[in-house]
Amino acid sequence: MNKKKLIGNLLLIALVVGLSLTFFEPGKADRTYQEQIQAFILDKLEQAGESVDYTPLSFEEVNESFLLAREDINQPMGIIEDTIKSQLSLMRKQYVSAEVNRLIYEAEEQLKDLSLSTVADYLALDARLKRSIKQADVLSSEIRADLYLEESRMMDAINQLGSAVSQFNLSVFNIDFERAETVLYYHTFRLKDNRGNTDHAAVFELGKENKEIISFKNI
């Protein structure tokens, strides 16, 4: 087992032991989120009885800006937007019904403000729109074939996006940073023992009001 994996496992064991014993100790009200995370890690390392020095490297709140700065998230989001535009353009090529036209207009308006937190809402509207088109059954075979290709590209991108955000304990179908009762922090840190230094990254979920650590995940 390599050095980084060994130290990482020691930290993970310490955190799991802490979970099983105390679920997560409440944080002090005057601590910041960052201070709470640091105190939690130091406490669990102490409980593990390991002589390991901990050095925090960075703290970043996991929000829309943070996520979209990552290529593995930004790229599929771009594909999703492009394929939606292509699909709506194809739907406009042939009149289906007044109801379909209304839904297309609604979809075009939603697309203007498409974000990680509204992808799920758009997909719900997309399903209604395509159900209405299917029921009418008047689109040409050429348009249907092109729609199928663009929809397949969109779904592949959604799957890629879902995989990327899941690293941060998020689901593409349930992202709402504003109304969430918890906050996520991406924390990088360095551990040093007699074998040397190893760098680590983890995501911590904390309550917004009490700042208690609810969960953590190594990345």
Kindly list the averaged pLDDT for each block of 10 residues, start to end, along the chain of length 219.
Answer: 49 44 42 91 84 93 97 98 98 94 97 96 97 94 96 98 96 92 96 91 94 91
- Which distant-in-sequence residues (6+ apart) come within 8 Å of 120 by Cβ? 172, 173, 174, 175
Residue at 59 is within a domain: yes
Give me the residues paired with residue 30 across strands: none
Residue at 171 is within a domain: no
Q: Which helix (H) or strand (E) holds 193?
A: strand 182-193
Q: What is the pLDDT of residue 31?
A: 73
Q: What is the pLDDT of residue 30?
A: 54
Residue at 172 is within a domain: no
Whole-angstrom distance, CA of residue 216 vs CA of residue 38:
13
Residues 147 and 181 in one domain: no
Q: Which helix (H) or strand (E) holds 61?
A: strand 53-61
Domain span including residue 42: 3-63+177-218
As given in the structure block, the two tokens for residue 212 are 């208690």
Instruction: Write the single-letter amino acid at 163.
Output: S
Residue at 121 is within a domain: yes
Q: What is the pLDDT of residue 19?
A: 36
Residue at 181 is within a domain: yes
Q: What is the pLDDT of residue 26?
A: 43
Q: What is the pLDDT of residue 49?
A: 76
Q: What is the pLDDT of residue 170?
A: 95
Whole-angstrom distance, CA of residue 100 vs CA of residue 133:
7
Whole-angstrom distance, CA of residue 41 vs CA of residue 49:
13
Residue that the structure tokens 């990088």 belong to: 188
Q: What is the pLDDT of residue 195?
A: 86
Q: What is the pLDDT of residue 8?
A: 54
How many domains are contained in the chain?
Answer: 2
